[in-house]
Amino acid sequence: MTIEGAGRESARRDGRRHVLVRDVMGHVAIAVMANATFGDIVAALRRFKVGAVAVVDGERRVLGVVSEHDLLLRAAEAARQGGAANDGDGRPYDRSRVAGATALELMTSPAITVTRETPVAEAAALMHRHRIKQLPVINPETGRIVGTVHQSDLLKVLEGHDAGRKWARPRAGERSATGEAR
């Protein structure tokens, strides 16, 4: 039996069901069109208080993702390449090079995505491995975005699974997460 299979077996014995992304995802898909400008993207990030947005085509198929990191990288690139303005540090900064960029030019592609049927543990592993905080959730048949899953969504599930054991009261002879023995 694989480790994955062993985990499922112990989860069944605990009476816990196998939690999928569909159980925790947000059903509002925050996305911008491929031709959205730098300013449009920043406005969407601020309005929805997120750190990244999916970039979609006219059919709402995910093409990539633009994160705050991507935007800051582009701004730093423009500052290094020179321009008319000064960034306050004495280095030139050309706002037009950043402001004129589209989501298609700024995005990281291909996007790392999950489906509604992806196990939460797999989604968490993807986020950890790729150092990202959210994943677009897509319909696997159409590639269209159907929602978003954030680290905080996954942590709620993981916290709930752990609460019954580790983070609540330790069993006799065990130590709690804070190191206190019972």
160-173 confidence digits (pLDDT tens): 655 444 433 444 55
The pLDDT of residue 2: 26
What mean pLDDT is predicted for residues 22-42?
92
Q: Looking at residue 139, what is its pLDDT? A: 96
Query: At residue 14, does pLDDT exceed 90?
Result: no
Query: Residues 18-32: what's their mean pLDDT?
Result: 90
Instruction: Please report the pLDDT score of residue 85 as a whole number.
Output: 47
Residue 69 has pLDDT above 90, yes or no: no
**Residue ranges of domains in the chain, CATH in brackets:** 3-163 (3.10.580.10)
Residue 40's pLDDT is: 94
Q: What is the pLDDT of residue 46?
A: 94
Reported as a pLDDT band with limits 50, 70 and 90, residue 28 is confident
Q: Does residue 146 register a pLDDT over 70? A: yes
The reported pLDDT for the residue numbered 131 is 92
What local confidence, expressed as pLDDT, does residue 132 receive? 92
Yes or no: say if 26 and 148 are a contact pair by the CB < 8 Å rule: yes
pLDDT, position 64:
95
Digit-coded pLDDT (tens) for 73-125: 877 776 776 654 444 444 444 454 455 589 998 898 999 999 999 999 999 99
- DSSP string for residues in the chain: --HHHHHHHHHHHHT----BGGGT-BS---EEETT-BHHHHHHHHHHHT-SEEEEE-TT-BEEEEEEHHHHHHHHHHHHHH--SEE-SSS-EE-HHHHHT-BHHHH-BSSPP-EETTSBHHHHHHHHHHHT-SEEEEE-TTT-BEEEEEEHHHHHHHHHHHHHTTTSSPPPTT-B-TTS-B-
Residue 177 above 50 pLDDT? no
Please tell me the predicted confidence (pLDDT) of residue 82.
60
pLDDT of residue 17: 55
User: Residue 13: is its pLDDT beyond 90?
Assistant: no
